[in-house]
Amino acid sequence: MTPVYLDNNATTKVATEVMEAMLPYFTELYGNPSSMHTFGGQVAASVQTARQEVASLLGAASTDEILFTSCGTESDATAVHAALRAFPDKKHLITSTVEHPAIKALFEKLGKEGYRITTIPVDSQGRLNMELLTQSLDEETAIVSIMWANNETGTLFPVEKIGRLCREKGILFHTDAVQAVGKIPMDLKNMPIDMLSLSGHKLHAPKGVGALFIRKGTPFSPYIVGGHQEHGRRAGTENVASIIGLGRACRLAEEKMGEENTRVRAMRDRLEKELLRHIPKCFINGDPDARLPNTCSISFEYIEGEAILLMMNQHGICASSGSACTSGSLEPSHVLRAMGVPHTAAHGTIRFSLSIYNTEAEIDTVIEQLPPIVARLREMSPFWSEA
């Protein structure tokens, strides 16, 4: 049985081209980019090419605006701590109720350390309450950190509008764009975003590499100190092979953006349409209009997600219930709770996230296998007969 992998918001496979680009950097090109000899020099040049490839995908004005990190979480923490150090007297931070744990847990920790945290709620479709955000910006606000795309529902936030509001008040704006980068076009040189996080393994680069975009002129101080790597902005010898992989993955993403937004979107839409047609009492979570092209969060009422996942796994279908990072929790995901998804459905929510490597035949498999699984579990559910 060939597995059907539809959990690409958790992680993606490393693209063949990416792996091939990385391989020489484990063998003959093993120099330290900080070294002043040939071995170091050629590697440093390749790292710079990768930086250019990342900058190009983001539409950044300069390669100097790209800082390589170890992951999205480190990029997020670096951005937020940089803002706090830049404005030591400002003790107010703003985020949303549906952030990834990388920001959610960081802000909760900062809240316990004395910062005033405002968490902007979303509506039932996961859309940010912009009125409340506008009212919450004040002179005390050091940074606003709102994700570009939600990892569970795919809902896109109006980052350009948020950035404009922040800029009017002189407040730094950071966006966790880990799920958005490579899936939707970006043109940061013309957008009011001060800092942006991305992660390699969400766009077919390996795990353990990420980047932070820092607009020129944004006040910044390093999160990790030590050596002079990354122009003194992040100490630690560069993860060269992975950085090369990230660069190549960004180039590929730029080339494949059209496919992501047409073929992948069409497959996702067909999956949703057919599941809704064949399975009663289920619904899609997220903004129906502004949503990532690859993500489908669907709630099946009166049954539980883990049971659905394991039964799908028997048929080789791999997806996720809510967020992969929160599996193991007894409560429905904080994203679904923030959206007010009723308990009758929140526990039975499955996230399918596609990539350019998925095929129509794989989508057919899900459309064929899932309805009987849902029916079987509902037959066992004490709530179904009364529904």
Partner 1 sequence: MWDYTDKVREHFLNPKNVGEVENPDGIGEVGSIACGDALKLTFRLGKDKKIAEARFKTFGCASAIASSSVLTEMIIGKTLEEVEKISNDDIAMALGGLPKEKIHCSVMGQEALEKAIAYYKGEPEKILEGEIICHCFNVTDVDIRRAVQEKGLTSLEDVTGYLKAGGGCGNCHEEILQIIQKSQGMTILEPKKPAAGMTNLQKIRKIEETLESEIKPALIRDGGNIELVDVDGNRVLVRLQGACATCSRSRITLKDHVEARLRTLVAHDLVVEEA
Residues that bind partner 1 (CB under 8 A): 121, 123-124, 129, 302-304, 306-307, 310-311, 313-314, 328-332, 338-344, 347, 379-383, 386
- The closest of 132, 76, 131 to 106, measured between CA atoms, is 76
Name residue 285's beta-bridge partners.
Answer: 297
C-alpha Rg value of the chain to the nearest Å = 21
Q: For residues 265 and 354, give the distance between their C-alpha atoms in angstroms, rounded to a whole number.
A: 9
24-56: string of b/e by CB count within 10 Å (b at 16+)? ebeeebebebeeeeeeeeebbebbeebbbbbbe
Q: Hey, what are 150's tokens?
A: 């939600």
Provide the pairing of β-strand 195-199 with 210-214.
Answer: antiparallel
Q: For residues 76 and 101, give the distance between their C-alpha atoms in angstroms, rounded to a whole number.
A: 10
CB of 381 to partner 1, least distance (A): 5
C-beta of 169 vs 376, nearer to partner 1: 376
CB of 111 to partner 1, least distance (A): 13
C-beta of 36 vs 380, nearer to partner 1: 380
Q: Is 250 known to be catalytic?
A: no
**Residue that is written with structure tokens 């579990």 in the block:** 377
CB of 307 to partner 1, least distance (A): 6
CB of 146 to partner 1, least distance (A): 17
Reported residue count of the chain is: 387
Catalytic residue among 71, 166, 296, 325: 325
C-beta of 23 vs 310, nearer to partner 1: 310
Q: For residues 332 and 335, give the distance between their C-alpha atoms in angstroms, rounded to a whole number.
A: 8
C-beta of 29 vs 290, nearer to partner 1: 290
CB of 89 to partner 1, least distance (A): 24
C-beta of 164 vs 343, nearer to partner 1: 343
> Residue 161: how many CB atoms within 10 A of its CB?
14
Q: Which residues are catalytic?
A: 325
